[in-house]
Amino acid sequence: MKKLLFFIAFLMAILISGCSIQHQTVTENLSQKIQSTDGKISMSFPSNWINKDNESIVSVLSMHNISKNENIIVFISSHPQESMDHYIKSTIDSYSKTMKDVNVKSIASAVIGKSYMGQQIIFTATDDLNQKLKHSIYVYTDNKNFYKIDCYSLESKFNNNISEYEKIIETFTILQ
């Protein structure tokens, strides 16, 4: 019995140390501090992420990790008296117009950057190439602008990418 308990404790120690090593590696590798095209925000990314400024005509920052097929696109829009609930609904409606089978999994409160309280929307959808994608969209408002950060990848790879997305989201900073 003691050997079994020791073995279980040993396995738990290995798992816990492995998780902290992965967390530390992602944090240490956020070597690229990227500023949005409009100069309003910045975020840090691992060195293997590349800038894709041509991704969207309306995005202010667009980054891609080719090896893991990870993407983060940031949009900023001003809002004349629009509520967060209305903005989230219009965001989901917008994706529903451009993608098939949009299925919202959850909408919950989230911390964006170090201290910005916002909302996180998680959904799956099928793109025009018939690829099943999973999105985690973070939305924050400072009463002048809405900041929308769309983290997405193939649904089959999303869970492997989520810890890296979360570390990148922690670096979100409003500059102006």
Whether residue 113 contacts residue 135, with contact meaning beta carbons closer than 8 Å, is answered with no
pTM tops 0.85, yes or no: no
Task: Identify the H or E element spanning 60.
Answer: none
Listed in sequence order, the residues at least 6 apart from 147 whose beta carbon sits closer than 8 Å to its beta carbon are 41, 74, 75, 76, 112, 116, 118, 138, 139, 140, 141, 172, 174
pLDDT, tens digit (0-9, with 9 covering 90-100), for 144-160: 899 999 999 999 999 99
Lowest mean pLDDT among 13-17, 52-56, 68-72, 171-175: 13-17
Query: What DSSP character marks residue 40?
Result: S
The two structure tokens encoding residue 127: 């793109």
Fold topology of 32-174: Protein Transport Mog1p; Chain A (3.40.1000)
> What residues does each domain of the chain span?
1-30, 32-174
